[in-house]
Amino acid sequence: MWKELFEKIRRGLKPARQSIEPVTAVLPKTKDIRSRLIDPRFPRSALLEIERAVFTNPVLSQIHNLVINLANTGHSVEADEGIKEEISKLAEKLNTDSLVNSLFSQIILYGCISAEVVVSEKLDGIEKIHRVHPANVYFLYDEESDSFKPYQVVADKTIELNPNTYLYIPLLTIDGSPYAIPPMLSALSLVDTTDNLIQELKSLANKIGLLGFLDISFPEPPRSPAETETEYQKRAREFLQNTAQDIAENINKGILLHFEGTQVEFKDISTNASGLKEVMSITEKWLIEGAKGQPALLGFSEGLTETWATVSLHIFISQLKNYQRLVERFLEYIYKLHLILAGYSFDDINVSFAEPPNFRAKEEEEARKLRVEWVIQLLQAGVIDIQTAKQLVEEFI
């Protein structure tokens, strides 16, 4: 039955692609390369805006740093014994520890790895790795080969990148576009809001302080019979201005000098700033989520149930593993390319990172303990035999 079905399907198969890329409908029929380069679905300038935001916004900067440190768990290379020494030499030459951090940074900022391998003049190995800024990478759709070809555009130069030495590995793309989607893209809509809130806090601190301010009332200065109202008001203002300056200078020294009858009261604004604090907290949580981070990892526990906190940690670990896989594929390619150029023969090379940190190791250990105790109870009750109990314990552990 299945054989007949597959034979029927085989007869209806055609070797070529039947669908077409949507971009072919809008591509100009010209040989000019620049006019045929396609753009991503989002503004290209967003890549530079994400950079600026990570440099200046404390929340995004923390996410960027956190992901790099948690994702780079150290990698190992599985290869034949005869080539491990050569791989170690290449890793040292390329300063792989720093390179891996930079690759993770690329993934977080731009959603892809974009790097060029530079081979030696004798073509007998890899000399170095250059990261190519994704903001300068364009793609051209080649109808003949049905593929997107990468180009680098800098000023008036348009350079076709060699697919054998240039790697563009996206984390995620959308249909009909070869461009990677930056994980932090949706956070850009909130960056200006958080920046404005921080600026308002700075302005408030400069004006009246963050905790509050002193309200000092002095006895009215006596008025001279010969003074006009205008002269009196001017003298009173000058007195307050000079006194305010003296108080500001002395209060930093821990002292406050005043005349008898002066009333000093501290006006607390922190209790009235709870609304601003709530707005700031909500905005920062949205910003973290927009950057594909998890608020629970950055200390935002308010409004999060224990169940959702557990789910969010699993999501975050899965994200880290996705990032690691991209770097693993890149390292495998450069190791293999180097060894082939150097004339080595090998079966395969596998690069793997250690597992990301387990944030719920204690809870999982307690769960395993309960399962083992349950197996022991079943064994003691005669429900299962020793062999079955052994198998169950091995599965749980």
Domain ranges in the chain are 23-189+320-353, 212-268, 360-397
What's the rounded Cα separation, in Å, for the pair 291 and 183? 6
The pLDDT of residue 191: 82
Q: For residue range 27-55, what is the model confidence (pLDDT) as tens digits? A: 777 778 888 899 999 999 999 999 999 99
Q: What percent of the chain has pLDDT over 70?
A: 79
Q: At residue 271, does pLDDT exceed 60? A: no
Q: N- to C-terminal Cα distance for the chain?
A: 43
> Strands, DSSP E only, in 104-228?
112-119, 126-131, 137-142, 147-154, 157-160, 166-170, 212-217
Give me the helix-helix angle, 96-110 and 306-341, nearest 10°: 130
What's the rounded Cα separation, in Å, for the pair 60 and 284? 9
Q: At residue 250, does pLDDT exceed 70? A: no
What's the rounded Cα separation, in Å, for the pair 349 and 2? 37
Q: At residue 312, does pLDDT exceed 60? A: yes
Q: What percent of the chain has pLDDT over 90?
A: 40
The pLDDT of residue 268: 61
What's the rounded Cα separation, in Å, for the pair 90 and 248? 62
- What does residue 97 show for φ and ψ, rounded to 5 degrees? -60, -45
3 state DSSP class of 175: coil
Q: At residue 123, does pLDDT exceed 60? A: yes
Q: What is the mean pLDDT of the chain?
A: 82
